[in-house]
Chain A
Amino acid sequence: MLNFIKKSRRILGMNSRNLEYIRPLNLKSAKRIADDKLLSKRILKKAELPIPTLIAKIRTQEELESFDWSKLPDSFALKPNRGFGGEGIIVVYGKKKNAENVWIKADRSSVSVEDLKNHIRNILFGSFSLSSTPDIAFFEERIKLSKIFKPYSYRGMPDVRVIVYNGVPVMAMLRLATQASGGKANLHLGGIGCGIDMATGTTTTAIMGHQKPKIIEYLPETRLILSGIRIPYWKQILEMAVKAQKASGLGFLGADIALDRDRGPVFLELNARPGLAIQVANLSGLKRRLERVSELKIKTVEKGVRVGMDLFGGEIEEELEDISGKKVIGTVEKVKLIGKDGKEIEVEAKIDTGAYSSSIDTDLAKQLGFESVIDFFSSLDLPANFSREESRGVEEALKKSYLGKHPDLADIVVVYSSHGSSIRPKVNITFILDKIETSTQMNIAERKELEKNIIIGRKNLSKFLIDVNK
């Protein structure tokens, strides 16, 4: 019992959410942005974040009467500007054949201009807005269902809710629409929420319901397991959510991001009062997570995302790491390089199992203190235009004549690639990847045109497992 009460302190309750987080962190001006979809669209767009394209807006009765319906595309979403809980939204998927300006909804019923007009009148009047104040209606691009979610979605758009606090994404949930929720992904309407491992973007536990959420394993009426769904563009989604917090000024933000089939992650809306059921979906207390990041000074988006992934994820990965005794890394990882005289530089490296040894860009090597050996090497008179068969002999000859001539020159290697062969110097470099220190020889090459100025090859990857989705 005592333990129960002690543990319950990690949970964020309604009182604490309102008094300690929303009140001081989400100021009135910022809340205005979240409650006004058009305004939040404008602000997100200004921050160069992806949003569904605005097609048209209707502000008054007159604008409604003079609206040119033929300029609407085949598919679109009609929304009330200040709507809440997904109410008042009409989504059409295509135009009906052999009829002018009739569209088809997800349930295959058709929508005429007259229906739309009626609906828009209701929106303008405020039927769907908080406290029934007059509202604006707008049309926007319809987000297309991403293939990966197709089996899980019932006539609605799944989305990812990310809670961002102090520049760190602290908790996330995948929301799925069900038959019971009428194609809406909102939990209080009967949608499903899946907790997400922050490090990998993989779903963990799933819940249904809002007031007293029930833990479920399968998607209702199917045999689809709800855990282990890998959300694509995970890191990008987290980065977008953190950027949205900066742009909107909402200190305690619930960002809703959908995945478009063609465009990837796109913002649906910003939420100034994110719900608390997300804690059940993750079987984890939000309060504890908020407290853990509250003291941190997060300066960049990348740092925030990294902190979130490191602190609040990794259980699945750690399991794998426990079994194999190896660290799981992605195809791009941050490494800390230690060069001459203990010079340290942190860069992003490409993890390349196609290469045998690791290779580093000339400029980066210079920054690490290898300028003199590079100058020495380029002053040498190196043979060119030799065939592949000769290369072994060339390598031997070069080693014999030049090794030991410069203190930093550790080795010389002839590398073949699709561009032909090249002769590269090798130097001793130590790098730290995922807290593991490796001392190795890296060859120095011109990598200016390439995306990353360092690659880590097979030779140095024996202590790691590579996860291409990461």
Chain B
Amino acid sequence: MNVSPIINFFLREGVPLETVILILMLPIIATFIAFLRQVVGIKAFGIYTPLIVTFAFLATNGIKYGIAIFAAVILAGMVMRFVLRPFRLLYLPRVAIMLTAVAILILGVLVLGGGMRRTGLASVSIFPILIMITIVEKFITVQIEKGNKMAIILALETLGISIVGYFIASSEFLIRFLASYPWAILATIPINIILGKWTGLRLTEYWRFKEVIKNM
């Protein structure tokens, strides 16, 4: 691989290449999410959640296990909200119980994976799992603020963005490109300035306001 001098310098200092590439991917994925929000109109759970889920996917052995864990977390969050509703608990204890439920469920999923000889699932490292468990709080907040349906839509959008993000970040071409031209990430700054000043309709808004435009 054709590696830029600065990356060579990092490597000589002992930083692993994989880490350097992951860090260089961060602004690219972030810009991608910002673009989806401002121009396309996909909201997801803000910028941080899809970003971190993308990296959790990258850190699991194969994306399908990541998706399985993600789905398990959201499912547990949904079910537990209904289970806990009649108890009328305060917010933090309620979230704590949900996290307990999610933890048990994930453990179940891992054991199940192991039992079905899917050793890949059982051997997923702890950090991506922890990251995904924290999504449950985000999910609950949205559930309270905007209702169940919206929370599910946003969760699916987050999942979608993270999956696409995963494929972008693991693309052989992009990895090679960043290794050769790491300074290219600076180009995300002017792109984001343009996105930050963008006042046009989002693509989804053309669809949302179709009736109005037709009737004008």
Contacts and interface: CB of A to CB of B under 8 A. Distances in A.
B200 A85 contact: no
Interface stretch (B77-85, B108-116, B139-147): B139-147
Given A13-B202, A85-B145, A126-B91, A211 B208 contact: yes
B62 interface: no
Interface stretch (A276-284, A324-332, A404-412, A437-445): A276-284
A188 B216 contact: no
B202 A15 contact: yes
Contacts of A279: 209, 212
A215 B211 contact: yes
Q: Say what secondary structure dominates the interface of chain B.
A: helix
A8 B201 contact: yes
Contacts of A167: none
B11 interface: no
B92 to A, nearest CB: 8
B206 to A, nearest CB: 6
Contact of A7 (B88, B150, B216): B216
B145 A122 contact: no
A359 interface: no
B90 A122 contact: yes
Given A127-B91, A283-B211, A284-B216, A14 B41 contact: yes
Nearest to B197: A19
Interface in A1-25: 4, 7-8, 10-11, 13-16, 19-20
Contacts of B215: 283
B90 to A, nearest CB: 5
Given A19-B199, A188-B146, A188-B150, A11 B88 contact: no
A4 B146 contact: no
Contacts of B208: 211-213, 280
B5 to A, nearest CB: 40
Contacts of A127: 90-91, 144
A13 B202 CA distance: 7
B209 A20 contact: no
Interface in A94-136: 118-119, 121-122, 125-128, 130, 132
Interface residues of A, number: 36
A54 interface: no
A396 B207 CA distance: 75
B201 A285 contact: no
B145 A84 contact: yes
Interface residues of B, number: 29
B192 interface: no
Interface in B168-216: 197-202, 205-209, 211-216
Contacts of B88: 118-119, 122
A118 B88 CA distance: 8
A279 B215 CA distance: 11
B31 interface: no
Interface in A255-278: 276
A11 B212 contact: yes
A188 B199 contact: no
B38 interface: yes
Contacts of B141: 132
A7 B213 contact: yes
B144 to A, nearest CB: 7
Interface string A321-364: 00000000000000000000000000000000000000000000
B213 A8 contact: yes
Nearest first, the 8 A-B pairs at minimum CB distance are A13-B201, A16-B199, A283-B215, A127-B91, A13-B205, A125-B90, A7-B216, A7-B213
15 contacts: A7-B216, A8-B213, A15-B200, A15-B202, A127-B91, A127-B144, A132-B91, A212-B207, A212-B208, A279-B212, A283-B211, A283-B215, A284-B212, A285-B212, A285-B216
Interface of A: 4, 7-8, 10-11, 13-16, 19-20, 84-85, 87, 118-119, 121-122, 125-128, 130, 132, 188-189, 211-213, 215, 276, 279-280, 283-285
Given A10-B216, A15-B200, A87-B145, 9 more contacts: A4-B213, A7-B213, A8-B201, A16-B199, A84-B145, A85-B145, A119-B88, A189-B147, A280-B209
